Copies of this chain bind each other. A is one copy, B any other.
Amino acid sequence: MASHFRQESEEAPLVVERLFRENRGEVEGLAAFLRRRPPALVLTVARGSSDHAALFAKYLLEARLLWPTLSFAPSVLTLYRARPRLPHPALLLAFSQSGESPDVVEAVRAFREAGVLTVALVNREDSPLAQAAEVLLPLHAGEEKAVAASKSFLAMLAAFLQLLAHLLEEGRLREALPLLPEALFRALGVEGSLEYLEDAEGLFALGRGFAYPLALEAALKLKEVAALHAEGLSLAEFLHGPQALLEEGFPVLALVQKDEAFEGALSALEGLKAKGAHLLVLSAEPDALALAHSPLKVPLALPPELNPLLLAQAFYPLAEALARARGQDPDRPRHLSKVTRTR
């Protein structure tokens, strides 16, 4: 029987299609407001997988809209009882599947009270987070039973991208958006396997730029479903220290896409290969796949803002197969429950 994790990841294309349709009116209204009154600073608040979605949003907001974006650590508020003084107007984006994390909810309440426009991208529409935020962008992912998020994670990225597309002057991203559901469906037909990792003790998952948050997400998924100590790092940070761990055959999973980070990523990967790393490369690009010991071929590519979603979608079935090969139940990570409450 297919795992919930597998089934739910395969629902993602339909979820994204529904989300684009259902949220369109709300997103157009929010985008029109924000274009008239652009924020001086954007804050993100999130935990776990959702924080990887928030980091993805940060890269795109800064690179494409030039809106500075700050990842807010809830402990500043919940433990140290400090609410930083923000420039006006400010925008807060909170990302969550369950909408139950007390520290995320508390941060949204506090900043809303301080006059910050608060937007929640959340799957559970009846959750405390959905109620705390001024604007709600529901993820429309339906119930997610697997502890390891898949469809809700992709829905977060998609919900954010729909907003971004309506915030950008140029229509390039707005025109590309409708291609996403079909492309996600095709990405499930990824070629290759993670069998090299069946007995691995550790791994680094690397990405640069827009693909970096997805490397963090792939690493977390490998921890959760396959009990593999995978650490996600930016390719640049990896070169600044952690590569000291490389020895002959040490596995490195690289997420590579064709954008401004592409050429640099290729030459960095050549360097890691020369140092003995076993390269697993998840990409649609022949030049990147040609470097791999284990190529993981994504069937197609989209523009760089949308493409990271294809990398995640292609990765889920690979992670599920690896989990089973390692004797793990992908639906039952040890010690975890669907909702984690931290303050």
- The 8 Å CB contact of A75, one of B41, B81, B201, B236, is B236
| Cross-chain contact A209 with B244 (CB below 8 angstroms) | no
Q: Are A240 and B342 in contact (CB under 8 A)?
A: yes
**Which residue in chain B gives the minimum CB-CB distance to A334?**
B244
A335 to chain B, nearest CB (A): 5
Q: Which of A68-127 contact B (CB under 8 A)?
A: 68-71, 73-76, 79-87, 103
Q: By the criterion CB–CB under 8 Å, are A220 and B236 in contact?
A: no
Residues on B with C-beta less than 8 A from A247 are 227, 334
Instruction: Give A contacts to B, CB under 8 Å.
Output: 40-41, 43, 47-49, 51, 58-59, 62-64, 66-71, 73-76, 79-87, 103, 148, 201-202, 208-209, 212, 220, 223-224, 227-229, 231, 234, 236-237, 239-247, 260-261, 264, 275, 333-336, 340, 342-343
Q: Please, which residues of chain B bring their CB within 8 A of the CB of A261?
A: 75, 79
A290 to chain B, nearest CB (A): 22
Contact A202 B229 (CB under 8 A): yes
Which of B85, B201, B237, B246 makes the CB contact (< 8 A) with A51?
B237
A229 and B227 form a contact (CB under 8 A): no
- What is the distance, in angstroms, from A135's C-beta to the closest C-beta of chain B? 21
In the complex the two chains form, is B84's CB within 8 Å of A68's CB? Answer: yes
Q: Could you say which residues of chain B place their CB within 8 Å of the CB of A75?
A: 208-209, 212, 234, 236, 261
25 contacts between A and B (CB under 8 A): A41-B87, A47-B236, A47-B240, A48-B240, A48-B241, A58-B73, A63-B76, A63-B80, A64-B82, A68-B70, A69-B84, A75-B261, A80-B209, A87-B87, A202-B202, A202-B229, A220-B242, A223-B241, A223-B242, A224-B241, A227-B244, A227-B247, A241-B336, A243-B336, A247-B334
Which residues on the B side are within 8 Å of A62 (C-beta)? 73, 76, 82, 84
Q: How far is the CA of A201 from the CA of B51 in the complex (A)?
A: 27
Give 10 closest A-B pairs by Cβ, nearest first: A48-B240, A244-B333, A87-B87, A63-B80, A236-B342, A40-B87, A68-B84, A70-B70, A202-B229, A79-B260
Contacts of A66 in B (CB 8 A): 82-85
B260 adjacent to A81 (CB under 8 Å): yes
Once the chains are docked, how many angstroms separate the CA of A65 from the CA of B59? Answer: 26
Residue of B nearest to A74 (CB): B236
The one of B40, B51, B74, B84 in contact with A67, judged by C-beta atoms closer than 8 angstroms, is B84
Residues of B within 8 A of A48 (CB): 237, 240-241
- Name the B residues within 8 Å of A74 (CB-CB): 236
Complex Cα–Cα for A242 and B229 (A): 8
Chain B nearest CB, measured from A31 CB (Å): 18
